[in-house]
Amino acid sequence: MSQAQPARPWWKDAVFYQIYPRSFQDSNGDGIGDIPGIIARLDEIAALGVTALWLSPLYRSPDADNGYDISDYCDIDPRYGSLDDFDQLVAGARQRGIRIVMDLVINHTSDEHPWFQASRRREQPYADYYIWRPGKTRRDEPVARRREGTGQVDPPNNWTSFFMGSAWQWDDQRGEFYLHLFDRKQPDLNYDNPEVSAEIERVLRFWLDRGVAGFRCDVISLLSKASFADGRKGPIRGLEHYKSQPGTHEILRRLRRDVLDQYGAFTVGETVMVTLDEARDLSDPGRGELDLVLYFDHLEVDRLVSRYGPKPFRADELLRRLTGWQQGLDWNAVYLENHDQPRIVSHYGDDKQFWARSACLMTVLLLTLRGTCFIYQGQEIGMTDFDFKSLDQLDDVESHRVNDLLKFLPYDVRWWLIRTASRDNARTPMQWDATPNAGFTTGQPWLGVNSNFRWLNYARQDHDPRSVLNFYRRMVRLRAASPTLSQGGFEPVYADRDVMVYRRTPAAGTSDPAFSQRRWGDDPPNPPRSLRSPDQGQGRWDDPAYTVWLNFSGRTQKLAQPWLATAMVLTDTPTSTGVHPPICVASNTGRRRLDGVLLPWEAVVIREAHAEPWKAGS
């Protein structure tokens, strides 16, 4: 008797949709998106083919960092609705086969959280919930004042915040400095105190008992601070003392063992400046920490040290980085946009002349990589970066901090750097239709709406078969129907400055009938005609390999031999020679065959390609 196959985790086949609630849909005219607004759009979300929602923070918050500064982990901020509204959202999503994943921010809280207020007063048991340290008396103070402890003090060390400036803030009430790796209103929790972990475990259970399927964990690789020595010189001083430390791994294993595994909960962690080896440790299934990690490397091909230091984009560098992660991790979290990144069609694409075609190219890239896909709201219609004219129109605290730091530069230079990299590029309201404020709100939106909403909106694309939105829907269906695309391997094939090519290879055990039964049950979907062998009927296929060809330029690219010839395949109706030009299973130009050239910003997916693996430098 053969052994039963182990169950495949649901999240490996999921397509996630990230919602930034304040910008998604407002239901009451106050200019801020809310939970009833999300409920009202569940059918639109389901129509995309997604099977899970990641919700950015909905908790009570004073909003120093748009909800990532939490003042109550176990309540919904009234601006977004109520716990009853949240329960209705979970139920409505479940009816449509969609799971809910909450954003979890446990490196820090708001300075208005009751824990921090009690800690400032040294009240037990909260006195050591945060990282407090006395300062260093300044060397230029008179000797007598230094001896008496009455002189002015410097921070405990030279660490700097991710939001610029010192990572320490003096508190008069406590008479000490507290650590904040981000905004000064986001004090870091102290995980050396076991009571902090116990509090977080109670938070996890609270939401899991309400039906959430798991958590996206914000800056999760920074929890443990191993040392408080001065940091090395660099953009972020002190990073070596708290990034991916052994203590963080222990915290994650404990949360997994004591809470998450009891619910079968999913976790994906945002990781800061993580290396491949560090990411592998965090997400190795055998270590029992995170299921997936969100890294940034593939979005920094055109950056020097941060989003605010641009350099030219190269497709070969993108493929090199993607290959490292695709082949280096057991399973990837695949994304191109989120609430912290510019819109991908403006970042790596052409949001002017070739807007639609380059948006669809990014669709092909996202949905043909190995891993679990994450789509950010508005990405499915090709939303672009904002068209604001001045810094005054921005809300993002990071953007304003960067402006302060770069005051030595002319304003026009500062504005150009901020305009292209600001987090507000992804946070403008969702563009639903061509009515005022893009159908997002009947009131004054909390952040300006991009003026291109009059032609770039969901309603205009919904019934247009050639739209970006419907191309997304088709690609989601293609991925779901293909064992190779949803489970197979990844091989680089070719890359140069503008063109990159990679191959998805069949996964072991996915071409036999038992695979279809395990994946789809008794009612499998009908595969596209291009996925069926000539002798196969409805509902059966022998999934081949695929090669993905992407032209990241506005120029037609002539494809060189011999690697074009190796992509030739047998068609369903062969000629006397038996060979046709490659069949395009998916194309953003509508072409059925690849004929030796790639059009500007063209993306094609080729069935049964046989290409030699690409080697760096070839």
Q: Which of 90-94, 279-283, 580-584 has the lowest mean pLDDT?
A: 580-584
Confidence of residue 63 (pLDDT cuts 50, 70, 90): very high
Residue pair 203/217 in contact (Cβ under 8 Å)? The answer is no
In a domain, 528, yes or no: yes
Give yes or no for residue 57 having a pLDDT over 70: yes
If we measure between CA atoms, which residue out of 120, 295, 304, 93 comes closest to residue 212? 93
399-402 long-range contacts (CB < 8 A, ≥24 apart) are 399/423, 399/424, 401/163, 401/164, 401/165, 402/164, 402/308
Residue 44 to residue 577: CA distance in whole angstroms: 47
pLDDT tens column, 211-228: 999 999 999 999 999 999
CA-CA distance, 309 to 311, in Å (whole number)? 7
Residues 97 and 139 grouped into a single domain: no
Distance CA 594, CA 611 (A): 15
Same domain, 73 and 164: no
pTM of the model: 0.90
Pick 262 or 2 by higher pLDDT: 262
- The active-site residue, picked from 218, 289, 380, 498, is 218
A 10 A CB-CB count for 454 gives 13
- The reply to whether 401 falls in a domain is no
User: Which one is predicted more confidently, 347 or 234?
Assistant: 347
Residue with tokens 């088709």: 474
Is 316 part of the annotated catalytic residue set? no
Percentage of the chain modeled with pLDDT above 90: 77
- In degrees and rounded to multiples of 5, residue 129 shows phi and psi of -75, -15
The answer to whether residues 36 and 21 touch, using CB atoms and an 8 Å cutoff, is: no
Which CATH number covers residue 169?
3.90.400.10
CATH number at residue 264: 3.20.20.80
- Enclosing domain of residue 19: 10-109+193-390+426-472
Q: Active site residue: 103, 270, 498, 602, which one?
A: 270
What percent of the chain stands above pLDDT 70? 86
400 domain residue, yes or no? no
What is the b/e burial string over 4-14, where b = at least 16 CB atoms within 10 angstroms of the residue's CB?
Answer: eeeeeeebeeb
Q: Which two tokens stand for residue 537?
A: 């009927």
Question: Do 588 and 563 belong together in one domain?
Answer: yes
**Residue 432 lies inside a defined structural domain of this protein:** yes
Number of CB atoms found within 10 A of residue 428's CB: 25
- Which of 416, 443, 472 corresponds to the end of one domain? 472
Same domain, 585 and 464: no
Residue 218 falls in the annotated catalytic set: yes
SS (H, E, C) 161-230: CCCCCECEEEECCCCEEEECCCCCCCCEECCCCHHHHHHHHHHHHHHHCCCCCEEEECCHHHCCCCCCCC
Considering the domain architecture, whether residues 440 and 560 belong to the same structural domain is answered as no
Q: Is residue 50 part of a domain?
A: yes
Give domain status of residue 339, yes or no. Answer: yes
Answer yes or no: do 432 and 452 share one domain: yes
d(CA 445, CA 32): 6
Task: Report pLDDT digits (tens) over 170-203.
Answer: 999 999 999 999 999 999 999 999 999 999 999 9
| Number of separate domains in the chain | 3
pLDDT above 70 for 536: no
- Amino acid found at 89: L
Q: CA-to-CA distance for 525 and 313, rounded, in angstroms?
A: 39
CA 265 to chain centre: 19
Both 61 and 122 in one domain: the answer is no
pLDDT at 618: 30
- For residues 210 and 333, state if they share a domain: yes
19 vs 25: CA distance, rounded Å: 10
φ, ψ (nearest 5 deg) of residue 300: -115, 20
Would residue 466 count as lying in a domain?
Answer: yes
28 and 120 fall within a common domain: no
pLDDT, residue 569, reads 42
Q: At what angle do helices 411-421 and 397-405 cross, to 10 degrees?
A: 150
Residues 174 and 210 in one domain: no
Q: Are 566 and 594 in contact (CB under 8 A)?
A: no
Q: Is residue 580 pLDDT above 70, yes or no?
A: no
Do residues 454 and 540 both lie within one domain? no
